[in-house]
Structure 1
Amino acid sequence: MTNALTLAAATDDAARHGVFTLNGFPFWAVYAAAFCLVMARAQATYWLGRGVARGLGGSRVASVLEGPRAVVVVGRIHRWGPPAVTLSFLTVGVQTVVNLCAGYLRMPFGRYLVALFFGCLIWAAVWTTVGTAAVYAAIWLFLLHPAALAAALVLVAGGAWWWLRRRRDRLATTTVEPL
């Protein structure tokens, strides 16, 4: 009985405020907050990468990155890196690594900022629509059938583990050509 009442209250709240809101705030406010949050986080990661690169000056890693082959590779990253920065925001976790590497490899800030801007627009759109809907669905599933939510989470975690293990095994069997 309490599950039905709680579900009715959640359904009423969603009907009054809309699914893509947070506690009654309009979509545009949630979107703007998400955009600002991801912009600040990505910038901090980029500048952390720049700081790490500066701290490694004169080290063995720095000398490798200044070699003739590495200069060619870094040039390609500077040229083709901005699309990678933008597209990384369609993934979970990869954008942090890409932003850190962009800073570490000293991607020109103007190019990085343009790519980051569009990536943050994408990220905020995905998480304020699909992400919010997924959270509401998980809450409703928990209210109706908590065991079903637990089973769904176990399935997702198991699928992620299987995929990562398969990927790791596949990468272990491939050979890497030197630069």
Structure 2
Amino acid sequence: MLLTTPALAAVTEDAAPGVFTIAGVPFWVVYAAAFGIVLVRAQATYWAGRGVARGTARGRFADTLARPGAAAVVDRVHRWGPPAVTLSFFTVGVQTLVNLAAGYLRMPFGRYLVALLAGCAVWAGIWTTVGTAAVNAAIAVGLRHPVTLVLVGAGAVALVAWGVHRLTRRAPAASEDAP
């Protein structure tokens, strides 16, 4: 038995819009929107880091960063940090930390911006292709076989819960062994 909805009937009657579209919106529009979203989010994170740095300019942590060894590390971050900014966009979660650290350590904005634009282009490309294909596949499966979609979702939740359980179970054991 094949389930049919008005949305599915409209898609099947018209020419196929392509896998890299969302609701028939062309690829370049989805890409531009994703690029804009990540650009604004990453910039906000960078400037939040700058704000935190300004707010903590005096104190113990600022004194620690002023030491010669820490100053050398900060100098390396300014020099070699831009590739880390770009590469962070291949990850989930790490990019926020890297952008915040770049702002906190006052990475020169010109270097940061070049790395950021390259990273945003990569991120938007990944999520526009793989992300829209996954969303469209989930919608198609959900429309045709909703039970399968629920089972896959439940399996994903169970896998994440198992991983969290394993990680939290190991953490206390590791701290007990520490001197």
| In structure 1, C-alpha distance between the alignment counterparts of 2:61 and 2:68, rounded to whole Å | 14
**1:14: how far off?**
8.3
Cα gap change, 1:127 to 1:14, in 2 (>3 Å): farther
| In structure 1, C-alpha distance between the alignment counterparts of 2:76 and 2:149, rounded to whole Å | 45
**1:8: how far off?**
4.2
Query: Which of 154-163 and 131-140 deviates more?
Result: 154-163
| In structure 1, C-alpha distance between the alignment counterparts of 2:13 and 2:132, rounded to whole Å | 14
| In structure 2, C-alpha distance between the alignment counterparts of 1:105 and 1:159, rounded to whole Å | 37
**1:99: how far off?**
0.7
Q: Percent identity?
A: 59
Cα gap change, 1:82 to 1:164, in 2 (>3 Å): farther
Q: Superposition pairs for residues 1-150 of structure 1, below 5 Å?
A: 4-6=3-5, 8-9=8-9, 11-12=11-12, 15-150=15-150
| In structure 2, C-alpha distance between the alignment counterparts of 1:100 and 1:150, rounded to whole Å | 36
Deviations 1:47-99 (A, max 9, x none): 11100100011121211122222112222222221111111111122211111
Q: Superposition pairs for residues 160-171 of structure 1, below 5 Å?
A: 160-164=160-164, 166=166, 169=170
| In structure 1, C-alpha distance between the alignment counterparts of 2:14 and 2:76, rounded to whole Å | 48
Query: SS of 2:9's equivalent?
Result: helix
| In structure 2, C-alpha distance between the alignment counterparts of 1:101 and 1:32, rounded to whole Å | 26
Query: SS of 2:36's equivalent?
Result: helix
Query: SS of 2:4's equivalent?
Result: helix
Q: How many residues align?
A: 173
Structure 1 unpaired stretches of 5+: 175-179
Cα gap change, 1:101 to 1:161, in 2 (>3 Å): farther
Query: Which of 99-108 and 70-79 deviates more?
Result: 70-79
Query: Which of 78-87 and 50-59 deviates more?
Result: 78-87
TM-score (norm 1): 0.83
Query: Which of 99-108 and 10-19 deviates more?
Result: 10-19
Structure 2 unpaired stretches of 5+: none
TM-score (norm 2): 0.83
Query: SS of 1:149's equivalent?
Result: helix
Cα gap change, 1:77 to 1:161, in 2 (>3 Å): farther
Query: SS of 1:16's equivalent?
Result: coil
| In structure 2, C-alpha distance between the alignment counterparts of 1:88 and 1:148, rounded to whole Å | 34
**1:5: how far off?**
0.9
Q: Which has the larger radius of gyration?
A: 2
Deviations 1:23-46 (A, max 9, x none): 322111211121111111111110
